[in-house]
Structure 1
């Protein structure tokens, strides 16, 4: 079990590094090898938050297509999707929404 956990941690560290570097091909290979698309950085943020600052649509798209959760609540009350919207890049927002955007708020919240 320990060797499996170390392998998972190694994949996660490599995924964080690839996302920070914007290496889409490496990200794809790591995700195919079993890296978790919701891997967290050392400060606890999901890697999906990293492409927001650099407006890296391709990285955000690769993570979302692999299953990263754009609606995962963050410690500050936001979500990766919220951060993408705040970042101001329509291309990144579209990538984070995914190929089939869905309604994210329950009916009562939408009505409010």
Structure 2
């Protein structure tokens, strides 16, 4: 994108959350459907950067909420993966389809469940996301939520008629028996091989603890990681309640 092109200032402004500059550029005729030098759309960039105000400005200026950035990445999926609640609200309010499918079969609900973003899951289900649409691996949403250990996500899915209770119960029991940290380490070893140093972090409230495990390279820098919540015992109780 040429530095003489008025659109060249749009992406720096949106990354900085400079809404005044975004407004000025849109009024000057810069397209709300602009893309950067790599082909990434302005709306997707704003969505994954959690710039809700900029997202609303682009939508009001005509950006298509369902247009796939680079033909592969949906703004709603990017926002859901990051847990960007206000961006998700803005996109759904502008008519984004909650079950839009991006590359490899992911939907916003799949991302939100995998990452344990309970509020986003609730918003998507309230907007009509299918609580039983399988993820890319064919796994039922309730099983995904049970594996993650998110009690809030499980509750939301059950409230919207999610099925596969038996499979979800088996998964919650399995991870609870193994332990969330051991489950994470085993998954990282499968993906990256044994012998790496690692770092474990715990955060959240006593009622909603998240465990993160990162693998470290030879310089002590993290190069891979994953996280789970620790509500598996509560999920077992939920799924076995009469």
Q: Residues 84 and 96 of structure 1 are in contact (CA less than 8 Å); yes or no, is this contact kept in structure 2?
A: no
Q: Secondary structure of the residue that 2:5 maps to in structure 1?
A: helix
**What TM-score do you get using the length of structure 2 for normalisation?**
0.37
Deviation at 1:91, TM superposition (A): 0.6
Deviation at 1:98, TM superposition (A): 3.5
Show structure 1 runs of 5+ residues with no match.
Answer: 1-5
Which has the bigger relative contact order, CA under 8 A and spacing at least 6? 1
Q: Find the aligned partners of 1:39 and 1:96 in 2 and give their Cα distance.
A: 17
How many residues get paired?
Answer: 101
In the other structure, the counterpart of 2:65 is 70
- For the pair 1:21 / 2:55, whether they are aligned, the reply is no
In the other structure, the counterpart of 1:42 is 37
**What TM-score do you get using the length of structure 1 for normalisation?**
0.73
CA RMSD of aligned residues (A): 2.7
- Give deviations 1:41-74, integer Å, cap 9, x for gaps: 1111001122234322111111111111121123
More helix per residue: 1 or 2?
Answer: 1
Runs in 1 of length 4+ with deviation above 6 angstroms? none
Aligned ranges 1:65-104 → 2 under 5 Å = 65-75=60-70, 77-99=72-94, 101=95, 103=97
More strand per residue: 1 or 2?
Answer: 2
Find the structure with the greater CA-based Rg.
Answer: 2
Show structure 2 runs of 5+ residues with no match.
Answer: 101-129, 134-242
